[in-house]
Structure 1
Amino acid sequence: MSAGTLDVVNPYDLRAIGSVALSSWDQIDGYLATAKQLHENRKCWMPAYQRIDILKKAGDLMQGRFEELAMLIANEGGKPLMDARVEVARAIDGMNLCIKEIPNLAGKQIPMDLTQAGAGRIAFTQREPIGPVVAVSAFNHPLNLIVHQVAPAVATGCPVLVKPADDTPLSCKAFVDILIEAGLPEEWCRFVPCDIPTAEKLVTDPRVAFFSFIGSAKVGWMLRSKLAPGTRCALEHGGSAPVIIDATADIEAMIPSLAKGGFYHSGQVCVSVQRVLAPKGMAEDVAQLLSAAAEKLVVGNAIKEETEAGPLIRPREVDRVAQWVDEARSGGADVLCGGEKLGDTTYAPTVLLRPSQADKVSLQEIFGPVMCVYEYDTFDAAIQQANSLPFAFQASVYSKNLDVTMNALQQLDATAVMVNDHTAFRVDWMPFAGRRQSGYGTGGIGYTMHDMTQDKMAVIKL
């Protein structure tokens, strides 16, 4: 029995575009029981060639529905159609990455005769699926994030239950339906949109072997604290990505990259460029050039071809961003462009110069179309400011000086440091993770597949 209906709207004009039935706890309880049985009965495990065939067919189906999936992403998630198409391409590539990683789910020989006690034995390991996976996802990449969480479970042979973000369940449902159409038995992948109490009950159930979460740090760390003993997890939260500009950097050449990194999906990305640190004497020039780029962006409904910056996911997020910018303005920041609501669902791309380091825009993840430019006296001071927050994800440095670049690579507290590129760069086979409050574990297709498997060792006495 359904627990109600979740209505889905276009976040720009709030027009209804679809709905999904919410799953009740009784339904989910049955799904978990089946998932546990599938894992425990090893005769039910699908061999690798079957998993490869399913993933390949699913990727082909996605390719055949490329425009349909892109429009769905834009319509429910507010990501501009031009960027939604890139997301679909990445999602299809992710399916192929899973296929390529399956042969790497291999064990190794363990030498036994390193001491007399182990002599006369042969040992080797195998990788086995960890068990039922529960994936809870975010709205900002409604197809590709689901692929990153669900396809590795299919690839490794783990039954999976996936709860999409409330704002963007349609892309998730489309992907699950494609997997089933490609030959995956329905009991191996369940689509479970549900309310918050039911979701918490699902995540903390002792039958869950692995919990994958993408979303806010507050929710992720709270859920981790309530996991059943033995449940493994991976958490991907946000950050406040710093960019350090060195005096030798080519300012004009970097502006398109910086603007894309800051205003892509209206800043609703966990590694969006947020804090730009430039030397005194350069900061204002950098900010003015970023402002000129921001003012050219076409803001509107994401489903239109010309739109470059779409809505924020909910009107209350527009209100929050407006409050934060107003606070920065009151604190002395220069608002070089934007700084205003364009409507209930959109906020103008904004560049702030010299906001106070005590303001929310300097201390927390904005998750909106706002970039802050600061000036520094010394490179060490820039490093200190970049590292000053309790979360860390990706960072970047723009420089033509090798010594400066290597110093930044050594000193920046980040899981990845981009050189002469923006902080939001990512390919889906690289490790992707937050440090400290920004996350736990490592994302990326191959890394996730490793986390969803575990070693079993055989020791044979000759």
Structure 2
Amino acid sequence: MTIEITSPYDQSFIKELSLTGKNEIDKILNTAQNLFLDQSKWIPAYKRIEILEKTAAIMADRIEDLLVTAVSEGGKPYQDSKAEVLRAIKGVKLAAEHISQLKGEQIPMALTEASLNRVAFTSKEPIGIVVAVSAFNHPLNLAVHQIATAFAAGCPVIFKPATATPLSSLALREILKEAGLPEGWLQIILCDNEAAELLVTDPRVNFFSFIGSAKVGWYLKSKLSPGTRCALEHGGAAPVIVESDADFKEMIPDLVKGGFYHAGQVCVSVQRIYVNQKIVERFIEAFAAATTKLVTGNPLDQKTDVGPLITPKEVNRVEKWVNEAIKKGAKLITGGKRISDTFFQPTVLFNPSEDSKVSTTEIFGPVVCIYSFTNRDEAIKRANALNVHFQAAVFTKNIDIALETVKKLNATAVMVNDHTAFRVDWMPFGGRDASGIGMGGISYAINEMTREKLTVFKSKLI
């Protein structure tokens, strides 16, 4: 069986690739297991550092090629895809640097008579076989976060990219091979859901890394073999609290970027903005004006701000949700219409009902909802009302309000005077509650893919 990779921009054919059948899964797992069980085949730390450093150098020489590949398969505009490629290179460097930080500690002994004549210490070991399933929206950088981290930890990794965007990870694999990655340490497979479930739930898998929908992630977690650890990164419906003293000059560009970056196809995209009633009319006017200036079009055009959605099916869904919100009483401020089979206008809605899809579910499209409030605690309560909690934000110049809001918002990260989609690759990143489990970020992911071993020496001479 094969699958066709097409451009989200115009649905044009890019490449045809073979799918891995479920009868091949056992061989793939055996390859990884044989590498891990034979410690003579483990790659020493210095060699892992060399390979990752060389990988980063090769990537830096091929920025334009990697960029065009990512834009073509994923549809993210040129400038944003360039930022992704540069982040991916930095991520590989961070993975190489963190290898030297994989260390244990001494555990004190002789604190009781029973612990006399002993010395104890912990050390870090690779956890084992890592199976990583990824999403479409950052095809190169997500691959780095799941592949480079596993390799840095010393684990063989089996990587399943999104079927819509596999080309960036395949390009990364070729670069890693060129940099000296031994055979078998990275296996990339494209497969259907049945084969993927067979792979993920196999007892040989020691760690499962998942980036994607909550429905799929939590289902697969429920099927994991006993002892398989996991990290799940799902979506959110990121809330923002805007107080009356917020700085419009700084705030509006940030929030527009955070809402419409990659056409809203970002797990921490700005979705729900709660604005103090005192400034809400001014806010809507400024936000709408900035939104209408966004350029929608060919993602390879460097002037484009908003590109296509990943498939026409997603355009249909977003259109349906927007129409439902308007029917239930939301005021359409700007946008609201499909441009083509693959594009939807950047859209701003005011005060959609609390039971509308746009208020209760991650939109993953170019739609931002604005709500007014008179009581900040009530706004925070509404912001926290959903079961998804990832990143959030507050805009204010009052430090007490900022700190109080940070404390009360249910989120793994709260940005003060910045949009919810801010991220650098060395910071912890992940959802809580229904939004995920475990923590991403290069160093955090590497640590998740290791386990501690305690060594205790007993000697009368100690």
- Match of 2:4, SS? strand
- Match of 1:165, SS? coil
Partners of 1:389 and 1:219 in 2: CA distance: 19
Q: Determine whether 1:84 maps to 2:84.
A: no
Q: Determine whether 1:158 maps to 2:155.
A: yes
The equivalent of 2:299 in structure 1 is 302
Partners of 2:183 and 2:302 in 1: CA distance: 36
The equivalent of 1:442 in structure 2 is 439
Q: Determine whether 1:148 maps to 2:115.
A: no
Partners of 2:320 and 2:285 in 1: CA distance: 23
Q: Determine whether 1:34 maps to 2:66.
A: no
User: Does the Cα contact within 8 Å between 2:244 and 2:278 map onto a contact in 1?
Assistant: no
**Which of 11, 16, 41 is the equivalent residue of 1:44?**
41
Partners of 1:252 and 1:426 in 2: CA distance: 21
Q: Offset at 1:26?
A: 3.1
- Match of 2:184, SS? helix
The equivalent of 2:377 in structure 1 is 380
Aligned-residue CA RMSD (Å) = 0.8
The equivalent of 2:332 in structure 1 is 335
Partners of 2:424 and 2:123 in 1: CA distance: 28
Partners of 1:137 and 1:392 in 2: CA distance: 20
Q: Determine whether 1:405 maps to 2:371.
A: no
Q: Offset at 1:11?
A: 0.5
Q: Determine whether 1:24 maps to 2:21.
A: yes
**Cα shift readout 1:364-417 (whole Å, capped 9, x = no counterpart):** 000000000000111111110111100100000000111111110111100001
User: Does the Cα contact within 8 Å between 1:28 and 1:202 map onto a contact in 2?
Assistant: yes
The equivalent of 1:215 in structure 2 is 212
Q: Offset at 1:251?
A: 2.2
**Cα shift readout 1:120-168 (whole Å, capped 9, x = no counterpart):** 1000011000001000000000000000000011111100000000100
The equivalent of 2:257 in structure 1 is 260
Amino acid of the structure 2 residue aligned with 1:238: G
The equivalent of 2:234 in structure 1 is 237
**Cα shift readout 1:323-358 (whole Å, capped 9, x = no counterpart):** 110011111111111000000100000010111111
Q: TM-score, normalised by structure 2?
A: 0.98
Amino acid of the structure 2 residue aligned with 1:63: A
Q: Determine whether 1:433 maps to 2:433.
A: no
Partners of 1:36 and 1:26 in 2: CA distance: 17
Q: Offset at 1:293?
A: 1.1
**Which of 51, 55, 58 is the equivalent residue of 2:55?**
58
Q: Offset at 1:189?
A: 0.4
User: Does the Cα contact within 8 Å between 1:20 and 1:169 map onto a contact in 2?
Assistant: no
Partners of 1:14 and 1:249 in 2: CA distance: 42
Amino acid of the structure 1 residue aligned with 2:101: N
Which deviates further from its counterpart, 204-213 or 13-22? 13-22
Following superposition, which runs of at least 4 residues in structure 1 exceed 3 angstroms of deviation? none
Which deviates further from its counterpart, 139-148 or 283-292? 283-292
Aligned length: 459
Partners of 1:125 and 1:449 in 2: CA distance: 17
Amino acid of the structure 1 residue aligned with 2:358: V
Partners of 1:368 and 1:231 in 2: CA distance: 33
Q: Offset at 1:433?
A: 1.0
User: Does the Cα contact within 8 Å between 2:22 and 2:194 map onto a contact in 1?
Assistant: no
Unaligned runs of 5+ in 1: none
Q: Offset at 1:284?
A: 2.4
Amino acid of the structure 2 residue aligned with 1:335: L
The equivalent of 1:198 in structure 2 is 195
Partners of 1:289 and 1:236 in 2: CA distance: 33
User: Does the Cα contact within 8 Å between 2:297 and 2:304 map onto a contact in 1?
Assistant: yes
Partners of 1:298 and 1:29 in 2: CA distance: 48
Partners of 1:6 and 1:60 in 2: CA distance: 32
The equivalent of 1:130 in structure 2 is 127
**Cα shift readout 1:410-431 (whole Å, capped 9, x = no counterpart):** 1110000100000000000100
Partners of 1:422 and 1:115 in 2: CA distance: 52
Amino acid of the structure 2 residue aligned with 1:284: E
Unaligned runs of 5+ in 2: none
Partners of 1:231 and 1:399 in 2: CA distance: 43
The equivalent of 2:136 in structure 1 is 139
Partners of 2:68 and 2:282 in 1: CA distance: 38
**Cα shift readout 1:95-120 (whole Å, capped 9, x = no counterpart):** 10001100110011000122222121
| Matching of residues 263-342 of structure 1 within 5 Å | 263-342=260-339
**Cα shift readout 1:249-306 (whole Å, capped 9, x = no counterpart):** 1123310000000000000000000000011132222122111111111111212222
- Match of 1:187, SS? coil
